[in-house]
């Protein structure tokens, strides 16, 4: 029987947390803009009537967009634990605003992929910085006993907003076309949510979002803090078994997801005409991402109850074991089955991520939390890029490679083994 009082109680508890509600509004607006930007960029580069993209081009686009910040982010993450996070949010959103304008101009003038990707990767860097800052700041605006629940609320809100932004892209694309001009219009529309995110960042009071001084605070010059950001972040992860274990499981999920994403994109691009590629191909890719996102959203809603019932350790183990089996169900590479598997794997992977988020928010000192969240973000994308790049080296033009599906299942199994050993309560 459904407990109808639970959502009401949750809403009432949120009403008393003004700063958390402001954080939630900022996250929703920011991720709506991010979803719209990413979908518009994908439509403009991978599913455009004026551009073509094979397996290597797709993997290369992922690498250019996400690898630079993934490598540099943990250095910059030190700033989240040194400067007022409110000021960092304001600066990052202002940077996003300016670079979104540049990206739209480049697309409008039909500039080559390299320049567009370079501008977009900087936008992505600012966006990831905002995302890490929001996650690191959450424990500063909610009571400790509500961190897991409110993290799920924030994650669900952000995921829904990103999904709506990505799907909203289809309307201006239909109105203005699938060429560079249509893509530029979509990018310019992104200016509205990014500008709103900038205004919402200004509303916070000084130091409300942390960081707060503690015995773990990294002292020294800004240059020292930034140059040692990777070291302090990685060392902190290694020193906390619950964090190290769940991040290993999350990395396994991201590698499998990278393989599956490349398989779907190559399969739907294997058509005869540019019109089919721009229309049917993009539509199928959006449905796949929507299925994965829907599974993730469902897991986000269920996560507080699941984690409360089984604990973080057992919940993550169960999700990784389930994903190992669900991945194999897609071995026939039939798109309807792959969509279903995408839904199931999205749910399993999101549960692992929420266990990792909870471990970082509850088990890491506030003075180092920004370091660790940027390390997680780096691992998140490096794993995805590495797997999709290796897959691009062996995948044929039609995408039919059942061995890659098996490889994804083995990755989940490896992640399960590492998590089960590293995060075991007997080791903490």
Q: What is the pLDDT of residues 330-373, one digit of tens each?
A: 999 888 899 899 999 999 999 999 999 999 999 998 888 888 88
Query: What 8-state DSSP symbol labels residue 49?
Result: T
Phi and psi (nearest 5°) for 254? Answer: -65, -35
Cα gap 344→294, rounded to integer Å: 9
Q: What is the pLDDT of residues 377-393, one digit of tens each?
A: 889 889 999 999 999 98
**Is the model more confident about 33 or about 17?**
33
Query: Using CA atoms in the order 294, 284, 391, 233, what is the torsion angle rounded to 10 degrees?
Result: -30
The highest-confidence range among 48-52, 126-130, 424-428, by mean pLDDT, is 126-130
State mean pLDDT over 169-182.
Answer: 84
Cα gap 99→156, rounded to integer Å: 27
Evaluate if residue 249 carries a pLDDT over 50.
yes
What is the predicted pLDDT for the residue at 222? 67
What is the predicted pLDDT for the residue at 22? 93
Domains of the chain, earliest start first: 13-203+219-427 (1.20.1250.20)
**How many degrees, rounded to 5, is the angle at CA 206 between CA 70 and CA 121?**
20
**How many degrees, rounded to 5, is the angle at CA 42 between CA 132 and CA 388?**
70
State mean pLDDT over 110-127.
Answer: 84
State mean pLDDT over 44-65.
Answer: 65
Task: Give CA separation, 187 vs 58, 89, 113, 114, 193, in Å.
Answer: 20, 21, 15, 17, 11
């Amino acid at each position: 029987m459904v407990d109808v009082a639970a959502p009401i109680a949750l809403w009432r508890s949120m009403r008393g947390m003004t700063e958390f509600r402001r954080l939630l509004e900022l996250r929703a607006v920011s991720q709506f803009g991010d979803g719209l930007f990413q979908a518009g960029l994908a439509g403009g580069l991978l599913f455009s009537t004026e551009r073509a993209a094979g397996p290597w081009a797709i993997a290369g686009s992922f690498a250019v967009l996400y690898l630079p910040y993934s490598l540099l982010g943990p250095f910059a993450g030190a700033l989240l634990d040194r400067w007022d996070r409110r000021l960092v949010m304001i600066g990052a959103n202002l940077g996003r605003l300016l670079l979104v304008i540049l990206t739209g101009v480049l697309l409008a003038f039909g500039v080559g992929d390299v320049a567009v990707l370079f501008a977009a990767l900087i936008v992505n860097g600012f966006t990831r910085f905002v995302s890490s800052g929001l996650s690191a700041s959450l424990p500063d605006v909610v009571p400790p006993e509500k961190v897991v629940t409110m993290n799920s609320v924030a994650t669900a809100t952000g995921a829904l907003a990103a999904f709506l932004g990505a799907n909203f892209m289809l309307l201006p694309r239909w109105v203005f076309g699938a060429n560079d001009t249509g893509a530029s219009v979509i990018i310019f529309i992104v200016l509205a949510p990014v500008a709103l995110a900038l205004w919402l960042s200004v509303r916070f009071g000084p130091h409300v979002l942390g960081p707060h001084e503690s015995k773990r605070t990294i002292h020294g010059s800004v240059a020292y803090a930034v140059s040692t950001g990777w070291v302090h972040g990685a060392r902190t992860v290694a020193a906390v078994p619950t964090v190290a274990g769940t991040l290993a499981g999350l990395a396994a999920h991201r590698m499998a997801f990278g393989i599956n994403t490349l398989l779907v994109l190559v399969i739907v691009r294997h058509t005869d005409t540019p019109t089919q590629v721009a229309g049917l191909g993009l539509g199928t890719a959006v449905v796949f991402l929507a299925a994965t996102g829907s599974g993730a959203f469902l897991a986000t809603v269920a996560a507080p109850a699941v984690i409360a019932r089984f604990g973080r350790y057992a919940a993550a183990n169960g999700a990784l074991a389930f994903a190992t089996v669900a991945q194999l169900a897609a071995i026939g590479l039939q798109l309807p089955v792959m969509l279903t598997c995408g839904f199931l794997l999205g749910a399993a992977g999101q549960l692992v991520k929420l266990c990792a988020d909870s471990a970082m928010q509850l088990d890491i000192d506030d003075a180092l939390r920004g370091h660790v969240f940027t390390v997680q973000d780096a691992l998140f994308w490096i794993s995805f890029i590495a797997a999709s790049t290796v897959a691009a080296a062996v995948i044929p033009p039609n995408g039919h490679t059942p061995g890659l599906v098996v490889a994804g299942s083995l990755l989940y199994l490896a992640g399960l083994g590492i998590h089960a050993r590293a995060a075991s309560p007997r080791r903490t």
